Chains A and B, each alone.
Chain A
Amino acid sequence: MTSSAAGAPALELKGIVKEYEQNRVLKGVSLSFQSPAEAMEAGIGMVHQEFMLLPGFRVAENIKLNREPTLPNPASRVLGKKLESLDVARMRADARRALDAVGLGIDEWIRVAGLPVGHMQFIEIAREVDKERLKLLIFDEPTAVLTESDAEKLLDIMRGLASKGHAILFITHRLDEVLAVANRITVLRDGEVVGTPDPKTTTVARIAELMVGRPAAIAAQRRFFAPTTEPALGIEHLREDMPGERVEDISLAVRRGEILGIGGLAGHGKLGIANGIMGLYPAWGRVVFGEKLFPLNEPREALERGLAFVSEDRRGVGLLPEESVELNIALSALEAQGRFLHPSPIPALQVLNHGAMHRHALEMIRALDIRTTGPSQQVRRLSGGNQQKVCVARAMTLRPKLLFVSEPTRGIDVGAKERVLEILTALNREQEVTLVVTSSELAELRAICDRVAIVYRGKVEAILPPDAPDAAFGLAMAGESARAA
């Protein structure tokens, strides 16, 4: 039985799994799969993080989807097997057996829509178990949506499956669970194997340490001065509806003049915080900015009150790739503050002041060293790092009091990375802009931040100084910061 646990962000993990699926050795044969159907044929099953169930179908129909037992009929004898009639009795019997195997006692003929999330998870597993040729079963964060008792049940089922000779690949960040069931463990970080600790001897703290790794070399330029304790932004019980991110109950106080880092595993809500406060996704909670209650879900209000945001999604939110560099830099200020416009009696019909916009863009290009042929170049023609600088330039143009920056160095090359981080620290140091930096790269947070908050399952798990031990960060990311104390 092969079992592996890993604690790197799920996004990277999926990449790895994909690679596994494309080039996997099974029973001594190297396989590469072009489609899900081929992987299925070879005996690989997967329990997905997002459910692959049809809500309008009955439980048995979902379990037997595209593997329905059939009966021949006159039409199928002429026109082929695809027209064979469904054998409903056998579908139900098979489904019953599979459901019993995973210990789910629900009726196999009810519709999936409206069932509790835990049930859906077990139906997914039942579907995989029902596959006759199943050899390897992949679980992608299966316990993330389950209650404690359901999670226990799931671990029991995994042990049972393994004892029947099925191999299981268990992808999770819950270190306790890994230690409870795994025969072998592999820890991945940023798409690389960083260790294979023996589950019999290792500890949760040791795995956590492996997950985090050493801070990078930029640690040298860290800024050391006591940040003010004056509150700039107070967040209380922030809850948010952002797809793929859990923001359930975030409470956090940002101090004026500091650089606050927000870290944590993918999907746990770190990216949701900035998006929620900037009004990009529906959010609830109490936010105070500059001693005044701050209205949520009002993007324009956020900009007008002096907040700005450099989004993690450069292409979707951060830029208009088809438009020019100058328009991209000017647009937010043009919209929210009415700058770069000729005066006109009707505010909405003020015509663009092209000259002012152009001059400002030139200034920014020089200040941030944006490599471009000129302000009128299309943004999509720039490199990733320069696109990111355009995003920062737009945020700076707003002259914000507080700036959110999410994933500042994602997808840009090493040299540009350092330059972007320098620009951000300079902004904080020279213009006294309070910064909230969210990043998947813990090392860069530890390099530039005064404090680093770690979120876990939609809540702030811990706020650590950048020089706290690696294990403290690792345990916080795994939701076990109590253990570090």
Chain B
Amino acid sequence: MRLPGTLREFGIPRLLIAVFLAVLFGVAVATHMDLRGLISDSIVRVGRNGILVLALLPAIQGGLGLNFGLPLGIICGLVGAVISLNAGVHGIWGVAMAAGIGVALAVPVGMGYGWLLNRTRGQEMMVGTYLGFAMVSMMSVFWLLAPFKNPTLVWAIGGRGLRTTLSLGGIYDKVLDRWLEFTVAGVRIPGGTLVVFGGLSFLTWLFFRTRMGISIAAARSSTRFARAAGISDERTRLQATVLSTVLGAIGIVIFSQSYGFVQLYTAPLLMAFPAIACILIGGATVTRATIGHVIVGTLLFQSILTVALPVTSQVIQGDISETARLIIQNGMILYALTRVGRA
């Protein structure tokens, strides 16, 4: 069966996902659910996850493919968060300090990661995945042994080793969500977090119009063209990796303040996958992505995840949203992987 051009460009999986979301909302309306609450929750989750999705953009634009090594940046952000908590810095300054330390760590980490990816061309995605896994498990040992003494962070018994989940209640839980919060037609909008997400999106867009950003995108499109134009693609790939890692570090800090908890140990292990699914659902491919893809994809996927649980739980017991997430997320990534060089 031949589909009309525009529909084909949109892609069957994307179409299915959009239809699925529409059906979910349809059921929600039909069963008189709290639609405003659902929409509000969806928007909150867009703000919460948006920067982690945005972090994937520089890697795709830099020709590195899907950055499965996102946990490297996430770990940097988590270390920043833990240090700020240990120091007891509250409120917006706590978030700023966490993000600042995270960025400071992410730059050297991203450079090391980028250096490795330059030496493992063609296998970036696999190397990224397992480097991320390895670092997450190494950090698990670190969290257990780290010399943090603040009693709110360490296990009550024994007094050593960080807890798996650190509550941000009363420290900087939702400070950005509440800053500039407003309500439209009964829908609560977490203004501050969205402003940060929007601001970083704009800066990323602007960055890809600077000399450095143009070089990165040109090297992605054609290594040999770039070389002929005097651009070293080893350098641009490194720059793209660093930027992606830095955004990952900021992303997890924003995520944590919105979520209200800092999750350590194995929590970052699989965080790259839903973010990757978001940007792909938005219309990105392994070789091309835009800010629009980031925003649309995050909105679609996070809405599904928000709405699926309450809607389906009216019909069946048990949490089908986790299963749906696995299928949609990995199905989307599989689809993208098998279409490289086609679409």
Tell me, yes or no, whether A and B come into direct contact in the complex with CB atoms closer than 8 A.
Answer: yes
Hey, which bits of chain A sit against chain B, CB under 8 A?
Answer: 278-280, 299-300, 302-304, 309, 311, 313, 316-323, 327, 331-332, 334-336, 338, 341, 344, 347-352
Which of A309, A319, A347 is close to B211, meaning CB atoms less than 8 Å apart?
A347
Which of A299, A311, A316, A341 is close to B230, meaning CB atoms less than 8 Å apart?
A299
Is the CB–CB distance between A335 and B211 below 8 Å? Answer: yes
Is the CB–CB distance between B211 and A318 below 8 Å? Answer: no
Is the CB–CB distance between A341 and B228 below 8 Å? Answer: no
Q: How far is the CB of A308 from chain B (nearest CB, A)?
A: 10
**Could you count the A-B residue pairs with CB atoms below 8 Å apart for me: how many are there?**
77
Q: How far is the CB of B95 from chain A (nearest CB, A)?
A: 25
- A64 and B227 CA atoms in complex are apart in Å by 43
Which of B210, B218, B230 is close to A349, meaning CB atoms less than 8 Å apart?
B210
Residues in B with CB closer than 8 Å to A299 are 227-230
A-B contact pairs, 18 of them (CB 8 A): A278-B228, A299-B228, A300-B231, A300-B232, A303-B229, A316-B222, A317-B222, A317-B225, A317-B228, A318-B225, A323-B218, A334-B214, A335-B211, A335-B214, A341-B211, A348-B211, A349-B210, A351-B210
Q: How far is the CB of B219 from chain A (nearest CB, A)?
A: 10
The B175-226 residues at the A interface (CB cut-off 8 A) are: 206-207, 209-212, 214-215, 218, 221-222, 224-225
**A316-B209 contact, Cβ under 8 Å, with A299-B230, A332-B229, A336-B230:** no
Q: How far is the CB of B222 from chain A (nearest CB, A)?
A: 6
Q: B207: nearest residue on chain A (CB-CB)?
A: A349
Q: Which 6 A-B pairs have the closest CB atoms?
A: A300-B230, A348-B212, A317-B224, A320-B221, A352-B209, A332-B229
Q: A323: nearest residue on chain B (CB-CB)?
A: B221
Q: How far is the CB of B202 from chain A (nearest CB, A)?
A: 12
Q: A275: nearest residue on chain B (CB-CB)?
A: B228
Q: Given known contacts A303-B229, A334-B214, what 9 new A-B pairs fall within 8 Å (CB)?
A: A313-B224, A316-B222, A317-B222, A320-B222, A332-B228, A335-B211, A335-B229, A341-B211, A352-B209
**A320-B230 contact, Cβ under 8 Å, with A349-B211, A350-B210:** no
Residues in A with CB closer than 8 Å to B211 are 334-335, 338, 341, 347-350, 352
Binary contact track B265-289/A, C-beta < 8 Å → 1, others 0? 0000000000000000000000010
Is the CB–CB distance between A335 and B231 below 8 Å? Answer: yes
Q: How far is the CB of B334 from chain A (nearest CB, A)?
A: 25
Residues in B with CB closer than 8 Å to A313 are 224
Residues in B with CB closer than 8 Å to A302 are 230
Residues in B with CB closer than 8 Å to A321 are 221
Size of the B side of the interface (Cβ < 8 Å), in residues, is 20
- A299 and B219 CA atoms in complex are apart in Å by 14
- A279 and B228 CA atoms in complex are apart in Å by 8
Q: For B227, B230, B231, which residue has the most chain A Cβ atoms within 10 angstroms?
A: B230
Q: How far is the CB of A199 from chain B (nearest CB, A)?
A: 43
Binary contact track B218-249/A, C-beta < 8 Å → 1, others 0? 10011011011111100000000000000000
- A226 and B203 CA atoms in complex are apart in Å by 57
Residues in B with CB closer than 8 Å to A334 are 211, 214
The B59-105 residues at the A interface (CB cut-off 8 A) are: none
Is the CB–CB distance between A319 and B230 below 8 Å? Answer: no
Q: How far is the CB of A344 from chain B (nearest CB, A)?
A: 8
- A311 and B232 CA atoms in complex are apart in Å by 18
Residues in A with CB closer than 8 Å to B207 are 349
Which of A300, A316, A341, A351 is close to B206, meaning CB atoms less than 8 Å apart?
A351
Q: How far is the CB of A360 from chain B (nearest CB, A)?
A: 15
Which of A304, A322, A338 is close to B221, meaning CB atoms less than 8 Å apart?
A322
Residues in B with CB closer than 8 Å to A352 are 209-211, 214
- A298 and B215 CA atoms in complex are apart in Å by 17
Is the CB–CB distance between B225 and A316 below 8 Å? Answer: yes
Residues in B with CB closer than 8 Å to A350 are 210-211
Q: A344: nearest residue on chain B (CB-CB)?
A: B210
Is the CB–CB distance between B210 and A336 below 8 Å? Answer: no
Which of B206, B209, B215 is close to A335, meaning CB atoms less than 8 Å apart?
B215
Is the CB–CB distance between B227 and A331 below 8 Å? Answer: no
Which of B210, B215, B218, B228 is close to A309, meaning CB atoms less than 8 Å apart?
B228
Residues in B with CB closer than 8 Å to A320 are 218, 221-222, 225
Residues in B with CB closer than 8 Å to A316 are 222, 224-225
- A348 and B212 CA atoms in complex are apart in Å by 5
Which of A279, A331, A336 is close to B214, meaning CB atoms less than 8 Å apart?
A331
- A205 and B224 CA atoms in complex are apart in Å by 40
Is the CB–CB distance between A311 and B221 below 8 Å? Answer: no
- A346 and B210 CA atoms in complex are apart in Å by 10
Residues in B with CB closer than 8 Å to A304 are 230
Residues in A with CB closer than 8 Å to B229 are 299, 303, 331-332, 335-336
Residues in A with CB closer than 8 Å to B228 are 278, 280, 299, 309, 311, 317-318, 332
- A323 and B288 CA atoms in complex are apart in Å by 12
Residues in B with CB closer than 8 Å to A311 are 228
Residues in A with CB closer than 8 Å to B218 are 320, 323, 331, 335
Residues in A with CB closer than 8 Å to B212 are 348-349
Residues in A with CB closer than 8 Å to B224 are 280, 313, 316-317
Residues in B with CB closer than 8 Å to A319 are 225
- A300 and B229 CA atoms in complex are apart in Å by 7
- A319 and B224 CA atoms in complex are apart in Å by 10
- A196 and B186 CA atoms in complex are apart in Å by 88
Q: How far is the CB of B111 from chain A (nearest CB, A)?
A: 16
Residues in B with CB closer than 8 Å to A332 are 228-230
Q: B211: nearest residue on chain A (CB-CB)?
A: A350
Residues in B with CB closer than 8 Å to A344 are 210
- A201 and B221 CA atoms in complex are apart in Å by 55
- A332 and B222 CA atoms in complex are apart in Å by 14
Is the CB–CB distance between B230 and A303 below 8 Å? Answer: yes
- A347 and B230 CA atoms in complex are apart in Å by 16
**A279-B227 contact, Cβ under 8 Å, with A331-B214, A335-B211, A347-B211:** yes
Residues in B with CB closer than 8 Å to A348 are 210-212
Residues in A with CB closer than 8 Å to B288 are 322
Residues in B with CB closer than 8 Å to A278 are 228
